Structure formats: structure tokens, C-alpha cells
Amino acid sequence: MSCSSSSSGSSWSGQHSGSKYNKEESQRPRFFDSKAKTQCWVNAETVPGRHPERWRKDAAGNIVCKRFCNCHGCLCFEYDHIIPFSKGGESTADNCQILQTRVNRFKSDKEKVDTTQLKGYSCHIKFTDKELDIIEMAVYGNVIRPGNQCRCKTVAEMLGKLKSKDSMAACKMPYEATLFTAIPIALPVSSPSPFANSTDAIPGPSQATTTPPPIPMGYHLSSPATLSTSPTSRFPLSEMATRAARILGSSRPAQKQPVDIPLARPTVVQ
């Protein structure tokens, strides 16, 4: 009997079946529970050299961090229904996969999306091992890798005022020399610096005793407190040179020497 029949019995039957369907639909959980999420994470591919409880690869091969769930960055992820919920997919561990958030949003309610398409939706940037170390340190306060565990020291430890009871070794993070080592900005020299016309970076502490750092083109340091103009240059004193003079002890900014220009006598017309 069709639903369009005018009989009261068929009408009641249609309403009853519809309410039964809605009741069954409302009883289906829309989101994954904690148990399903835990198993979904365990089922994902591990990242070589990384702690499996902190890092995994999604279905497209993107590295994601467990602390970055439901955010929008390139290390963030969401729990995705392999068969979309709107198309009958259940919120169970068997129907769950982790996906980079951006990939999951592009996938939406599509079915049977292959790995190539998922990779095409992924963030273009890829993080190096050193960058992942820094991110892990920022998030967890330590880095745990197979055979290599370390932690971040406190300021008091760095100053020697406190000895930590934690037996874990302190991390030697990348770029430590440039971040935490004082680098001299200038040294007195008796002749023009060989770096005067160079665009190289300021040398590190290991080079500071033998070669001076670069100074503005056209000038050289004749003493710790003064600046003199190179005889082969007529460039105006730059702001960088002025700052260097102040740092090295000059109380007054260096100024250009006035130039006397002889004036011609006026010609008297008879």
C-alpha cells in the first residue's frame, strides 16, 4: 500500500514507520567516543624515530601531533569517518581514520577518495626533524625519541642557581649558539676592515678574535670611541655607523666635517 493512500490505516502506518526511522537515526552516535579515538590513533601509521603516542601519520602520509586535535594548522588533525556518517557510516574505530584538518575539510562527505587526492589536499610545507624537535619541546617540555630523551632546563638552572632533581639530560636544541650566545658587534682596528664592502653575516664567537665583524661601507673604526671617514669614500654616515659609535662609547653622534667652498669675487662692470 502506497504512502499516498487516503486510508487512515496506511496514513498511521506511514507516520509510525517514519517516527521509527527517526528514532533509530537519533540513536546513532554522530561522534567518535574516547575508546574509538584511542583505537583510531593506534591504527594510524607510526612516524619513524618519533614517539608513537605523540606523533602519527594520517591516511595521506602527513605527520600530525596528538596535542593538535581539532585545530587548523599543518600538524593538526581530526577524526574522520571513512564512510561518511551522512551515508550510513558508523562512529566506530573500524570506520575511523585520522586526517590532517585541511585534508578532512576538503574530503567532506566524499566516499572512496584515493591517497593521491588526499595528498593533493594536504599542506605543502614539510617539517624537518630539527623543527619537529623544537615543536615537541614547545608542546611537551621535552623530546622523547628512541634512545634519546632530553628536557628543557629552567632559567635558574642555566644561571647555576638551581640543580634539578630530574635525571633526564638537558636538550641541545638546534641554533643554540646563535640564540643564546652573545655575539660582539664591533672591534677596534687600525686599518679599514676587510669586511667593509662585504655582505657576509656577522662572524660567530669563534671568529671574533681574529676577524672583525662587518661595518658600514665607506667607514672604519680608528679607535673605540671615534669614527673616521675612509679617504676613498664620500658616502654619508649611515644610521648603523652612528649606533656603532654610541655603543662603543661615543656620547655624541658622529657628524660630517664641514667643507669650505671658496667664493669667487664679484665682477664689476665699468
Please state, in angstroms and rounded to a whole number, the distance separating the CA atoms of residues 185 and 111.
60
DSSP letter at 90 equals -
Place of cell 660567530: 204
Give the pLDDT band (50/70/90) at residue 164: confident
For the chain, the first-to-last Cα distance in angstroms comes to 130
Q: Where does the chain have alpha helices with state H?
A: 8-27, 34-43, 101-107, 115-120, 129-140, 155-158, 176-180, 239-247
Please state, in angstroms and rounded to a whole number, the distance separating the CA atoms of residues 211 and 229.
20
Strand partners, 150: 143, 169
Q: Summarize the confidence of residues 7-22 as an average pLDDT.
A: 45
pLDDT, residue 36, reads 96
Which grid cell sits at 27? 540513536
Strand partners, 145: 148
DSSP letter at 245 equals H
* Residue-range domain boundaries for the chain: 34-120, 129-180, 182-198+207-252
Please state, in angstroms and rounded to a whole number, the distance separating the CA atoms of residues 263 and 56.
81
Q: Quickly list DSSP for 176-236.
A: HHHHHS--------SS--TTTT--PPPP-TTTTTTSPPP--TTEEEEETTEEEE-TT--PP
pLDDT, residue 257, reads 60
The alpha carbon dihedral of 135, 140, 145, 147 has a sign of positive
Residues in the chain: 270
Please state, in angstroms and rounded to a whole number, the distance separating the CA atoms of residues 191 and 214.
13
Q: Give the tens place of pLDDT for each residue, 128-147.
A: 999 999 999 999 999 998 87
- Which is more confidently placed, 246 or 32? 32
Please state, in angstroms and rounded to a whole number, the distance separating the CA atoms of residues 64 and 139.
13
Place of cell 650566545: 181
pLDDT above 80 for 217: no
Least confident of 48-57, 61-70, 205-214, 244-253: 205-214
Which grid cell sits at 53? 603516542
- Strands 169-170, 148-151: parallel, antiparallel or unpaired by DSSP? parallel
